[in-house]
Amino acid sequence: MKKILFESKSKMQKNERVINKILIILGVISILTTIGIILSLAEETIQFFRSVSIVEFFTSTKWTPMFEPANYGVLPLVMGTFLIVIFSSVISIPIGLGSAIYLSEYAPKKVRKILKPVLEILAGIPSIVYGYFALTSITPLIRSIFPNASVFNALSAGIAVGIMTIPMVSSLSEDAMMAVPDSLRLGAYALGSTKFEVATKIVVPAAFSGIAASFILAISRAIGETMIVAMAAGSTPKLTLNPLESIQTMTGYIVQISLGDVPAGSIGYKTIFAVGTLLFFITLILNILSRNIVRKYRRAY
Amino acid sequence: MSVLREDLVRLIDNPVSLQRRKIKNKFFHVVLFLCTIFGVVVLAFLLYDILKKGLPWLSVDFIKNFPSRFPKKSGIYPALLGSLMLILLTTVIAFPIGVGTAIYLEEYAGNNRFTELIKLNIANLAGVPSIIYGMLGLAVFVRALGMGRSILAGSFTMALLILPIIIISSQEAIRSVPGILKQASYALGTTKWQTVTGVILPYAIPGILTGTILAVSRALGEAAPLIVVGALSYVSFAPSSVMDSFTTLPIQIFNWASMPKKEFQNVAAAGIIVLLIILLAVNAIAIILRDKYQIRMKD
C-alpha cells in the first residue's frame, strides 16, 4: 500500500487506463463468443442449404441424410424432441411447482433447511448419470409394465429429463413465491383462508410471471439436453407420438454423427450444423420469451 | 386484490363448509410434501442403484488400468487424467476472463448501450445448450485455429461454456460488497483498481469462488460438447501434453454404458462413483475455501 501511494500520480492514471482497456477486452470476449457461435453455425448451414432446399428441410417427413436415397426433412427430429419435452414437462412442472409451494408456504424452517440442499444436489448430478439411470433403471421398469416397449424409447428419456429439471422449476418458482410480500398472505389468513387457499389463490397468482418463466426455462433445457436422450431415447428419427418407440432428437442426432468422426465438408458435417442452428434459435426464442414474461408481468409490491 | 373479493363473494353466496376446506388443505399438504420428497427418493434410489452395481468393480486396478475389451480388466486411468487436465486448463482460461468481465461490468462500465449489450448477451449465452458450444469448438478451435481434437481445444470450448456462470455469480458477489467500504477506500485517495484489488475482491472472493466451483463441477460432468469437439472414444495412452487427444470420465462412462456386454454397465457404474466422488471433493474444496476467506474477513 505504501509503495503504491508514493508512485507518481500520472503513472497511476496511466495504469488505470491500461487496466480499463484490458477489462473492456475481457468483457468483449462474451460478445465474440456469440458472434463465433452465429458465424460458425451460419457458415455451414448456408452451405447445407445450397444443396438442400429449405422447403424440403422443413416439410419433408423423412430424415435419412446418411443413406441412399438421402432425405433431409428435419420434422422427425423436431417431433422426437417434442416428445421428450412433453414427458419431461409432465414430470417436472407439477412436481417442481408442488415442491416449490411446499417449501415456500408449508415447510417448517428446519424441514426446508434439509430438503432444499438435497434438491440442489439433484440439480448438480451430471446428465450422463441420469442417462445411465434411464437406461439401466427406468427402461427396465417401463418394459416390465409395457412389454412391447423398445429398449430405447422416448418415455424413459423423457422421465429422466423431467427428473433432472425438477430442481430448476422448484428453485426458480420458489424464489418467485418468496418475493411475494407477507402482507398479502396475512390479509388472506385474516379473512379465514386455509394455507392451501392462500397458496393457490394469492401466492401462485402473484408470483405467476416467475413461475411461468421457470416452466419455459425447464422446457428450453429439455430441448437442449443431450446425453440423456443420446443414451436412452435411441437413434431412429421417426414421426411418431408413441412414447414407447425408439426416436431421435435434434441433440441426439448431433451426438450420433459426431461419434462417427465426421470429416469437414462432408454432408454429415453440414447437417449437424443445420440442425444445430435450428436448436440454437428455438432455445434462444424460449429464453428471450421467459425473460420478457418476467419483465412484462412483474408486479411491484 | 379483486381475486380475493370475488372469492369472498363466492363464499357468501355458496358457503363451503369449513370442515371440507380444512380437509382439502390437509390433503394438499400431503400431496405437496410428496412432490418435494419425490426428488429425495429418486436421488436415494439412484445412488443406491449405482453403488450396488459399481462398488464391487471399484478397485485400485480400476483406477490404474486402461479401458479394455474385457470388463474385468477395464480401468479409468486415461479418462481420469483427461478430466483433471481438462478441468485445470478450463479453469485457468475461464476464471480470469470471467472475474475480469464481472469487475468491468460492476465497477468500470458506464450505464450505456454497450454495457446493456454485454449483459443481455451474457444472459443469452447462459441459456445456449451445451452441445452448441461443442459445434463452436469444432468449427473455431479444432478446425479454424488448427488445435485438432486436443485437450486445448476441449478446454477452450468448456471455458466458453462456463464463462456465463462465472461472470453472473461474480457479478452478484461484487454487487454484495457494501458501498460504504468502497467509499471509504476512495476517500483515502485510492484509484479504482486499488479499490478493486484491495477492498472489493477480498470481500467478494468467497462468492466468486463458490460460483467458479459450481461452474467447474458443471464442466466436469459435461460430455456433449466434448463429443462434438471429438474427444476420443478409446485412448490407449495417457495424455502428456495439452495438444494430445483425450477422453474424459463422462465420455468413458457413456462408452461403457453403450456397450452391448451387460457387465460393462457395472463398469460404467464404477466410473460414475469415481465421477461423483470427484464432484463431491471439488464442492468440499469450495466450502473449505469459502469458510477460510470468510474467517479472514471477520478479523
- What share of chain A in percent tops pLDDT 70? 96
pLDDT digits (tens, 9 = 90+) for A82-112: 999 999 999 999 999 999 999 999 999 999 9
- How many pairs of residues across A and B have Cβ atoms under 8 Å apart? 264
Query: In the predicted model, is pLDDT for residue A235 greater than 60?
Result: yes
From chain A, the residues in CB contact with B33 under 8 A are 102, 106
* Cα B182 to Cα A235: distance, rounded to the nearest angstrom: 57
| Cα A118 to Cα A140: distance, rounded to the nearest angstrom | 26
Asked if A26 and B100 come within 8 Å (Cβ–Cβ), the reply is yes
Mean model confidence pLDDT for chain A: 91
Q: Which residues of A touch B257 (CB under 8 A)?
A: 131-132, 135-136, 231
What's the mean pLDDT when you consider all of chain B? Answer: 88
A106 CA to chain B: closest CA distance, Å?
7
- Window from A143-157, B229-243, B280-294 with minimum mean pLDDT: B229-243
Residue to test with chain B: of A29, A30, A183, most B Cβ within 10 A: A30
Which of B132, B191, B216, B274 should one mutate to test binding to chain A, selecting the residue with the greatest count of A CBs within 10 A?
A: B132
Which pLDDT does position B110 carry in this prediction?
A: 85
What's the pLDDT at A301?
62
Instruction: From chain B, pick out residues whose CB is under 8 angstroms from the CB of A191.
Output: 4, 8
The torsion angle over the Cα atoms of residues A269, A271, A272 and A274, rounded to 10 degrees, is 130
ipTM score assigned to the predicted complex: 0.91
Residue B26 confidence (pLDDT): 93
Q: Which residue has the higher pLDDT, B297 or A122?
A: A122
- pLDDT 10s digits, B1-45: 556 677 666 666 556 678 888 899 999 999 999 999 999 999 999
